[in-house]
Amino acid sequence: MKKKVTLLEEGIQSPGATEPEASLAWCDVFKTSCSGIFSRELFPTCSSFITFVSYMALSINQGLMVKGSQDDKNKYSYSTIAAVLMTEILKLLTSFIIYFYKDIVRIFMLRQEIENLFFSAVVMFGHCGMTSAKAAEVSQNLKSHVKCVSANDLSSISLAVLFSVLLLYFVPAFLYCLYNNLAFTNLGKFDPTTYFLLLQLRVVVTGVCFQVLFKKTLTFRQWISLLILTLGCIVKNVGVTRAQNAATDSSSSLAETILADIIVAIFSVNIIYILLQVFSSCFAGVFNEYLLKDYGAKTPLMVQNLYMYFNSIICNLFLVYLDQTVIQIQDSSLNWKNLFNPKVLLIIANNAAIGIVTSFFLHQLNSILKAFASALELVFTAVLTWIIFGIPIDGYTITALVIVIYASLLYSQSPVVNVARTGSSRISK
């Protein structure tokens, strides 16, 4: 009974293998086949690899769908602010359903198990009586199922712990809201090329924030891979600058244009805003991982998602009120009914799925690997937009793709390992 799946390395299932055991066999096949490329520390489980791929696929799909929702003038026929708020609400409802759906299923399974155990006990008592050993076995089975049902029970966590984690989630929620609002502000203060070039500092800043919060020093190879990754992102955006330079028939060379834009940005007071945007994005992501794996490790994942999205809605509404954009939305000619357009609803649903998958990503993997996933999205999106929308792809994009892939392979040889705490949360001590 212990070995129902044979030849795991070949993925061959024996006639008596069960479905879960067969899936474990294929997981072993995957790990064995990828061991030459990726170390086990990079993707410790099959689910972590699926989460990584899902995050990239959903993020790339989001960019393509948002691009497809624009009109001929690259504008939107719907309120983007309302779409963001609806996304946060959908995330909150989805997390609520997932969390309580598990309990409903477990309660149903417990009921079936109690009926089965009761029937077995009646049969044994009616025929030959139940031995003390068998009675103990039945009791143990029942206790294990009850424990399974109460796995998501919050009664074992003090209200002080839950409330503290709830308050701490205002930090990433507010920073993400600040990041989204600063994106519009900075795009108004900087040209797109300078904006996206300076935004690539996120990769390095993520590494710094990770070291500070988790008190883990990145190795020399890890830092080199992060710097190479940053270079790849910069090369991709240099290609955009070259195209804009050629379109405007500028007499200045590409290097002169980029250098001039960066010098102007550095000595401008507006650089504070873009540095604040970079810090907001990086610190919010790493702090979210810190709450999931360390400070609030005892709190269930979906409960933390509920905290995050509830706080995000509050922060979004607060910032909207401060900017007085509510009046602008009400007075605008945008038709709110356009939010219920199938394309827009798909964008909202896909964006909500990204949020849910991101929580699994940070819980199973880490913020450093998420930076690599985002960089891979950048270049793969360029390739797909060329295929779908006919937007030309240049040598800079190809070069950036090669650099990003090399950086990813270099990082995969010595990835960051950041496992969630299995004990009680720090604040409960």
Quickly tell me which residue has 């049902």 as its tokens. Answer: 149
Check: CB of residue 324 under 8 Å from CB of residue 398. Answer: no
The Cα–Cα gap between 371 and 68 comes to 25
- Is the CA virtual torsion 309, 64, 235, 406 positive or negative? positive
| Residue 160 token pair | 């002080």
What was the pLDDT predicted at 258?
Answer: 53
On the 0-12 / 13-18 / 19+ scale of CB atoms within 10 A, 116 is exposed
Read off the pLDDT band of 269 (50, 70, 90): low
Quickly tell me which residue has 């609803």 as its tokens. Answer: 345
What was the pLDDT predicted at 289?
Answer: 94
Read off the pLDDT band of 117 (50, 70, 90): low
What was the pLDDT predicted at 219?
Answer: 92
Q: Which of 365, 355, 250 is nearest to 306 (CA)?
A: 355
Pick the residue with more confidence: 198 or 376? 376
The Cα–Cα gap between 148 and 380 comes to 42
What was the pLDDT predicted at 5?
Answer: 40
pLDDT exceeds 50 at position 20: no
Domain residues of the chain, as ranges? 1-34, 35-428
Region of poorest pLDDT, from 14-23, 70-79, 223-232, 268-277: 14-23
The Cα–Cα gap between 181 and 185 comes to 7
The Cα–Cα gap between 187 and 127 comes to 80
What was the pLDDT predicted at 50?
Answer: 92
Give me the helices (H) in 338-394, please: 342-364, 367-389
Report phi then psi at 354, rounded to 5. Answer: -60, -40
Q: What is the mean pLDDT of the chain?
A: 74
The Cα–Cα gap between 364 and 159 comes to 26
Check: CB of residue 177 under 8 Å from CB of residue 313. Answer: no
Residue type, 5: V
Residue 406 CB partners (closer than 8 Å, separation 6+): 228
What was the pLDDT predicted at 102?
Answer: 67
Q: What is the pLDDT of residues 312-338, one digit of tens each?
A: 999 888 877 775 554 454 444 455 667
pLDDT exceeds 70 at position 15: no
Long-range contacts of 230-233 (CB under 8 A, 24+ apart): 230/200, 230/201, 230/203, 230/204, 231/403, 231/407, 232/375, 232/379, 232/400, 232/401, 232/403, 232/404, 232/407, 233/200, 233/203, 233/375, 233/378, 233/400, 233/404
